[in-house]
Structure 1
Amino acid sequence: MAEEKFFTDRERLVQALAYDCACELQQGIKESGQATFLVSGGSTPEPVYRELSKRPLPWAQITAALVDERWVEKSHSGSNQAFIENSLMQNNAAEATLLGMKNTHSSAVEGEADCERAYDELPRPFDVCILGMGNDGHTASLFPHAQGLAEALNPDSDKLCSAITAQQSAVTGTNTERMTLTLNAILQAKNIKLLITGEEKLKVYREALLGSDEMEMPVRSILKQGLKPVTVYWAP
């Protein structure tokens, strides 16, 4: 069962999550001389990244790596890599290293092997993983009934990255071709944080806890896995 940290407003959530991430990254550096920070895109974590970027951490010893990415160029408005560069990799955090997912291959399927090799070089366990959740119950780019989802959620797979083709919806927009961390990769993080805001997403989260069909609501694979602790951060 996930630990729930619910706040009365988003500013309190932002301060608390930034503080928790800073402490856990610092702990990773203390234990092994470096830390790995798995980061998701989206407007919800943006103020957390901006707050964190100002913290006086030894950023040169921290690698941020994307949780997922649309298969688009960095100049595209949907690029998570560009978003992280503009939000997290600022101020003190400009000294950190960023590992993106999009490579030179024309499709995510073709680019999967190169992405896998790059992520396989990251030190493990990862220190912190920040996840979001959509109103459709997706997390990372693990979308309901997506092509490639079963493989990405396979608990016996040792893959870190998976190409995904989502079913187009209001949530996915037109960029349905994605690269995502697998369930196996996410569960190699010491601290998994699910960040949600608003009443509608709280309702989706509670629905996810009640059911068991992971293909219908892939966030269940994180909430119900029982191997690694998950902390849910929520504010109205």
Structure 2
Amino acid sequence: MNFNEYPDREFLFLSLANKIASELADFLRREGKATLCVPGGTTPGPIFDTLSGVDIDWANVTVFLNDERWVPESDARSNTRLLRQRLLVGKAAAATLVPLYAEAPTPEEGVARLAEGIEPHLPISVLLLGMGTDMHTASLFPGADRLEEGLSDKAPLLLPMRADGAGEPRITLTARPLKKALSSHLLITGQDKRDALERAEKLPPIEAPIRAFLPDLSVHWAE
């Protein structure tokens, strides 16, 4: 784990956005395409704001989420809605969004079709993860109904996931494709998240799912 501490959140958000943009540009130069996988929630919003104005070849960048709540984009809790409002605007509007939600009553009914959309864009070029104070990442929650399967090296690409702390049913990328990302970053802010990360280092992944990713992560933190 490579731990990066910043003097304040504004500097963190700007620096990490520039780092991600630089890595995407490198992949575009070398391979002609790149994949960016990002979390939902409000914390990465400022990073999305900066990235949306960066002058790279967005037309050859594919974007998808780490996970999604099983709600339509019209719902205020939709992560896809946040992406459309804050990342896929400006220059980044040219990027291709691969969905993690389909119009079906349950994630179980939509997961196979969604996985077919994700698979051609693997491995992930640049991965940005978030983490909760419960040490979950993506929708790999402690105590979730299919967490053990989601952490397995033989897991499918996507899994439906339900957990007490999750609210709605979720769909999530599993540890297998996330751990194969070519460049991986974790964004956390506040002392409570730093304390949670330190706890996670001493626990097994089944209790602290972020632990499964720590060996290869660049962690970015500010108070």
In 1, are the aligned partners of 2:67 and 2:139 still within 8 Å (CA)?
Answer: yes
Aligned mate of 2:159, from 157, 162, 170: 162
Q: 1:195 aligns with which of 178, 187, 197?
A: 187
CA distance in 2, matches of 1:16, 1:3: 15
Secondary structure of the residue that 2:186 maps to in structure 1?
strand
Q: Which aligned runs of 4 or more in structure 1 are off by greater than 2 angstroms?
A: none
* 1:182 is aligned to 2:190: no
Q: How does 1:29-48 map to 2 (within 5 A)?
A: 29-48=28-47
Q: What TM-score, normalized by structure 1, do the two folds share?
A: 0.92
Task: Please name the residue that 1:75 is paired with.
Answer: 74
Q: CA deviation at 1:23?
A: 0.9
Q: Does 1:230 align with 2:217?
A: yes
| Number of aligned residue pairs | 223
Q: Does 1:216 align with 2:216?
A: no
Offset, 1:125: 2.3
Residue aligning to 1:106: 105
Q: Report the CA distance between 1:76 and its aligned residue.
A: 0.5
Cα distance in 1 for residues equivalent to 2:203 and 2:150 = 20
Task: Pick the structure with more helix per residue.
Answer: 2
Shift of 1:120: 1.1
Which amino acid letter does the alignment assign opposite residue 164 of structure 1? Answer: M
SS of corresponding position for 1:180: strand
How far does the alpha carbon of each residue in 1:91-130 deviate from its partner, in whole angstroms, 9 at most, with x for none?
A: 11111111111112210112111111111121x3211111
Alignment of 1:20-35 (within 5 A): 20-35=19-34
Displacement after TM superposition at 1:75 (Å)? 0.4
Residue in 1 that maps onto 2:63 = 64
Question: Percent identity at matched positions?
Answer: 36
2: CA distance, partners of 1:184 / 1:26: 25
Which residue in 1 is equivalent to 2:123? 125
Contact 2:12–2:221 (Cα < 8 Å) also in 1: yes
Distance 1:164 1:211 in 2: 21
Consecutive unaligned residues in structure 1, runs of 5 or more = none
SS of 1:63 mapped into structure 2: strand
Deviation at residue 140 of structure 1 after TM alignment: 0.4
SS of residue paired to 2:62: strand
CA distance in 2, matches of 1:141, 1:66: 11
Q: Secondary structure at the match of 2:161?
A: strand
Task: Report the secondary structure of 1:129's partner residue.
Answer: strand
Deviations 1:7-29 (A, max 9, x none): 01011111110111011101111
- The C-alpha deviation readout for 1:34-74, integer Å capped at 9, x for no partner, is 10000111111100010111111111111111110000011
RMSD of equivalent CA atoms: 1.1
TM-score, scaled relative to structure 2 = 0.97
